[in-house]
A and B are shown apart, each in its own frame.
Chain A
Amino acid sequence: MPNPLYRKHIISIPDFTREELELVVQTAAQLKAASRGDLLKDRLLATCFFEPSTRTRLSFETAVQRLGGNVIGFADGANTSAKKGETLADTVRIISSYTDAIIMRHPKEGAARVASEFSSVPIINGGDGANQHPSQTLLDLFTLQETQGRLDNLTVAFVGDLKYGRTVHSLAQALSLFGAKFYFVGPEALAMPDYLCEELDERGISYSIAATIEEVIPHIDILYMTRVQRERFDEAEYKKIQGQFVLRADMLRSARPNMKILHPLPRVDEITTDVDATPHAYYFEQAKNGVYARQALLSLVLNETV
């Protein structure tokens, strides 16, 4: 029987079952332990980035090439037919006739779902506006499994922009399949959206809101930091919250030994650089894991068995 992700579109984390998430995580671990240069042999993939993204695109392209596949594509939408007014639907129809899969990023929310309705090959969502970025969540899950030895019943604090942070939303949704406990730490204006809290309530996931990072540190397995963007606030408001959601090394004294700090990157100033040298910092390894998680995802989508 083919693996459950074979020839599937990868659009959104809520589309995944718990078993499918576990399969990606296990496959990523296997590929990190022993590389496979044959899994995408003779396969041609397109990376269509209608919006620029350094890390995601290079990480996907690395994943394809490390698995023996080839890549065509573009790094931003400025010089494509989209600029001439072609619909995404038409663009995707054509590119899907050239390649075995399309990895795409697009500034509009829902773009990957639309693409999947017009493509003859699997669409892999590399980010659609503020909506979803499933491969980020898969690499986050892989990193949780790698650092904690499990995905079940983890205690995770999310810090920063919980309102617009799509990585926060998707990871919370994914972990809700594994019975987690969450702390939300961030400015009131950037609180977790109601609809997500309702989803968590329905799944019986317990969460609480905390005012500071310090108060949650002794209780957690994972500290998931995100950036609070200055442009979301007016100057006076920003001054008030500035510095409140910044992690420094001296705040980590009460952390459990297994506690790891993750961040989807880029970091600006929400984690001071003295944290990098602590045993809790794991964000750079997390970014490296992006290649393995994407290798796992692509291998499963393009091979009946891995």
Chain B
Amino acid sequence: MTEKVYARNVEALKSGTVIDHIPAGQGLRILRLFQLAEYRERVTVGLNLPSGHMGSKDLIKIENVVLSEEQANELALFAPRGTVSVIEDFAVVRKQKLAIPDTVEGIFACPNSNCVSHVEPVQSHFSVRVTEHDTKMKCKYCEKVFSKDIVVDVR
């Protein structure tokens, strides 16, 4: 199936945001972690959609919601090749390439069970560093360094 054919299968969006090129299997996790259903707007999720260069992918459309640049970049931790398109009147008015953020606040829990961030009134906070083989996340509080996949898997 080509991109064109599948596009007809997913309802067009009048205005809002399309998050595309999410690796298959990450769509629901993104929906949950970024609380995209909490906006009480219509959300359409496509799972395991065919994709030319990715094989298969997930896709999320949210009506009447525009993500901040910060939120969009946080998505890059799950979808390094993801794109976020802002739609107005059925047309793409802005397409954003995602960049891995320098810091991530409040989204993930620290994998270290003895980290104070679990019991004090603070938001989790990681600084992110991309190395040759991995993306590392360092907790601001316990100062432990984790591979991105470990942090992402915790919650």
**A and B assemble together:** yes
Binding site for B on A (CB under 8 A): 12, 14, 87-89, 106-111, 113-114, 117, 128-132, 195, 198
The CA of A128 and the CA of B143, in the complex, are separated in Å by 11
User: Which residues in B have their C-beta under 8 angstroms from that of A109?
Assistant: 112, 114-116, 141-144
Q: Is B51 an interface residue (CB 8 A)?
A: no
Contact pick for A114, options B112, B117, B136, B144, CB 8 Å: B117
Apart from the given pairs A108-B119, A128-B142, A129-B114, 14 other A-B contacts in the complex at a CB distance below 8 Å: A87-B120, A87-B121, A88-B120, A89-B120, A89-B121, A89-B122, A107-B114, A110-B139, A110-B141, A110-B142, A114-B117, A114-B120, A114-B141, A128-B116
The CA of A107 and the CA of B117, in the complex, are separated in Å by 13
Q: Tell me whether chain B's interface is mostly helix, strand or loop, or mixed.
A: loop
Q: Which residue of B lies closest to A166 (CB)?
A: B143
* Least distance between A89 CB and chain B CB atoms (Å): 5
The CA of A14 and the CA of B139, in the complex, are separated in Å by 13
Q: Is B2 an interface residue (CB 8 A)?
A: no
Q: Which residue of B lies closest to A129 (CB)?
A: B114
The CA of A110 and the CA of B112, in the complex, are separated in Å by 11
User: Which residues in B have their C-beta under 8 angstroms from that of A89?
Assistant: 120-122
Interface string of B91-133 (1 = CB under 8 A from A): 0000000000000000000001011110111100000000100
Whether the pair A198, B131 counts as a contact (CB closer than 8 A) is: yes
Q: Is B140 an interface residue (CB 8 A)?
A: yes
* Least distance between A119 CB and chain B CB atoms (Å): 13
User: Which residues in A have their C-beta under 8 angstroms from that of B121?
Assistant: 87, 89
Whether the pair B143, A88 counts as a contact (CB closer than 8 A) is: no
User: Which residues in A have their C-beta under 8 angstroms from that of B116?
Assistant: 88, 106, 108-111, 113-114, 128
